[in-house]
Amino acid sequence: MSLLLLCSLLFLGSAILTGLFRWVAPRVRLIAVPVPRSAHSRPVPVGGGVSIVVLILLVIAYCYSTDQIPANEFAALMAAAVIACIGIVDDIKQLDVRWRIPAQFLASAYVVYCLGNVPAIDFGFFYFPESILLNVLAIFALVWLLNLYNFMDGIDGIAATELIAVNLVSLLIVINSDAVLTLLSASFAAAAGGFLLWNWAPAKIFMGDVGSSFIGFTLGVMALLSILHGSMTVWTWVLLLGVFIVDATLTLFVRYRSKQRWYDGHASHAYQNAARHYKSHAKVTITVVLINFFWLGPLAWLSMQHPKMGLAITVMGLIPLLLLAKRFGAGRENFSLYAQ
């Protein structure tokens, strides 16, 4: 099957499945009812990301059945199914963090076990060698990535467009060097496109934890695979996901430092403050897309051309995002740009 045909089928399948799930969701009580911190003012079906989950798992299974993915990599990728199950339970009935976080750590540890030691990281001026510490850091990174993707799914279209942008740039980088990542990146972009037809502002259905946590976790596994394959570096992935990483991390830091209950639900991410300021989800989402394609994407490609400069390129790429997130009050409740 050609890549173009596969992507066409995934796009169409995602659009159809999401539409069907939009009809099913209210009948199984998968409804996001507005609360004071919500970005929507009416009940909206939630859990639409299940369409992306189902299609991507089918692609992974297809790759394994045709010997395109070895058994250990298949097992690592399929751990995302556990994360998706936790997410759908959380969408239906708020799952206690005491159950959710340990399960996420177990799934992440299983991924690292399946893939073996994480390769050394080149900082340019020194190597972080293969070690147990690096494996532990990879586990924490997987857990953080799946949670931050969930945190950043707070306005219409932003999580789906981020997924499209990240995977299109990834596709351009690996298309001639990594067959597995090429297939996964193209599949994610196509499936996200079909879902976005229903999720663009004003959204007719939300992705839900089932989608956002699955996506964040799977992107983390893809990052590990690409590092093991030598087709991408850790710096490339940090740049590709730079908007989400910076906003989520700075927001958590600010809330913790200001002694807020940082683990409680909130709407004080920079992108949420920006959406309220401009009274538009679409404007913020489009801005994020432009940043991805015209700033982070070229730098991600550059980090692959000059791997020893990866850290320096990453710092150069993220500093403007840090300043922008700070400008829009990441982590600050009741933020007003005019009060600056």
For residues 262 and 152, the model is more confident at 152
pLDDT at 127: 80
Q: What is the mean pLDDT of residues 254-281?
A: 88
Report d(CA 152, CA 149) in Å as an integer.
Answer: 5
**Number of structural domains the chain divides into:** 1
Model confidence over 315-336: pLDDT tens digits? 999 999 999 999 999 998 877 7
The secondary structure of residue 175, as a DSSP letter, is T
pLDDT at 19: 96
Q: Largest alpha-carbon pair distance within the chain?
A: 59
Q: What is the mean pLDDT of residues 57-63?
A: 95
Q: What is the mean pLDDT of residues 225-247?
A: 96
Using a 10 angstrom Cβ sphere, with 0-12 exposed, 13-18 middle and 19 or more buried, the burial of residue 90 is buried
Average pLDDT, the chain: 93
Report d(CA 149, CA 51) in Å as an integer.
Answer: 17
Model confidence over 36-58: pLDDT tens digits? 667 777 889 999 999 999 999 99
CB-based contacts of 58, cutoff 8 Å, min separation 6: none
Nearest to 214 by CA among 42, 54, 27: 54
- Under 8 Å between Cβ of 318 and 242: yes
Report d(CA 328, CA 128) in Å as an integer.
Answer: 34
Q: Write the CA distances from 179 to 6, 173, 176, 216, integer angstroms.
A: 14, 11, 8, 21
- Under 8 Å between Cβ of 188 and 56: yes
- Residues β-bridged to residue 127: 122
Instruction: Give the structural domain span for 169.
Output: 3-339
Looking at the chain, the whole-number percentage of residues with pLDDT higher than 70 is 97
Model confidence over 174-231: pLDDT tens digits? 998 999 999 999 999 999 999 999 999 999 999 999 999 999 999 999 999 999 999 9
Model confidence over 100-115: pLDDT tens digits? 999 999 999 999 999 9
pLDDT at 33: 81
For residues 37 and 311, the model is more confident at 311
Report d(CA 44, CA 21) in Å as an integer.
Answer: 12
- Under 8 Å between Cβ of 31 and 211: no
pLDDT at 42: 84
Report d(CA 188, CA 240) in Å as an integer.
Answer: 15
On the question of pLDDT at 287 being above 90, the answer is yes
pLDDT at 14: 98
Residue-wise DSSP of 288-340: HHHHIIIIIHHHHHHHHHSGGGHHHHHHHHHHHHHHHHHHTTTT-TT--GGG-
Report d(CA 94, CA 76) in Å as an integer.
Answer: 26
